[in-house]
Amino acid sequence: MGLLIKGGRIITSTDDERADIYCAGEQITRIEAGIDQSSLPPDTEVVDATGKIVFPGFIDPHVHVHLPFMGSNAIDDWTTVSQAALAGGTTTLIEMICPGPKDEPRAAFEEWLGHAKGKAACDFTFHMSAVRFDALAQSQLRDIAIDCGIPSFKVFLAYKGALDLPDEHLFGLLTMAKKLGVIVTAHCENAELIDAMQKRLIAEGKTGPEWHEPSRPTAVEAEGVHHLATFAEMTGAHIYTVHTSCFQAVEAALHARARGVNIWIEAVAPHLVLDKTYAEKPNFEGAKYVMSPPLRKKWHKKYLWNWLRGREISTIGTDHAPFNFGDQKIMGKDAFTKIPNGIPSVSERVDLIHTFGVCAGKIDLHTMVDACSTQAARIFGLYPRKGTIRVGADADLVVYDPDHKRKLTVKDSLSAVDYNAYEGWEVTGRSEVVTVRGKVQARNGKFVGAQPHGQLLKREPTHF
* pLDDT tens-digit readout, 143-202: 999 999 999 999 999 887 787 889 999 999 999 999 999 999 999 999 999 999 999 999
- The set of residues, in sequence order, having a beta carbon less than 8 Å from that of 47 and lying 6+ positions away, is 3, 4, 5, 6, 399, 433, 440
Looking at 340-445, which runs of residues are DSSP E strands? 397-407, 426-436, 439-443
For the chain, how big is the Rg over CA atoms in Å?
21
Ordered domains of the chain (ranges, CATH): 3-55+390-447 (2.30.40.10), 57-379 (3.20.20.140)
E strand or H helix at 73: strand 72-73
Q: Are strands 315-317 and 397-407 parallel, antiparallel or unpaired?
A: unpaired
What local confidence, expressed as pLDDT, does residue 70 receive? 72
Query: Which pLDDT score, from 0 to 100, does residue 373 have?
Result: 98
Ranges of the chain with pLDDT below 50: none
pLDDT of residue 368: 98
CA 150, CA 439: separation in Å to the nearest integer? 25
CA neighbor of 263 nearest in space, from 301, 224, 290 = 224
The residues, ordered by sequence, that sit 6+ positions from 147 with a Cβ below 8 Å of its Cβ are none
Q: Give 66's Cβ-side CA count (13 Å radius).
A: 20
Angle between helices 218-235 and 167-180 (to 10 degrees): 50
pLDDT of residue 272: 98
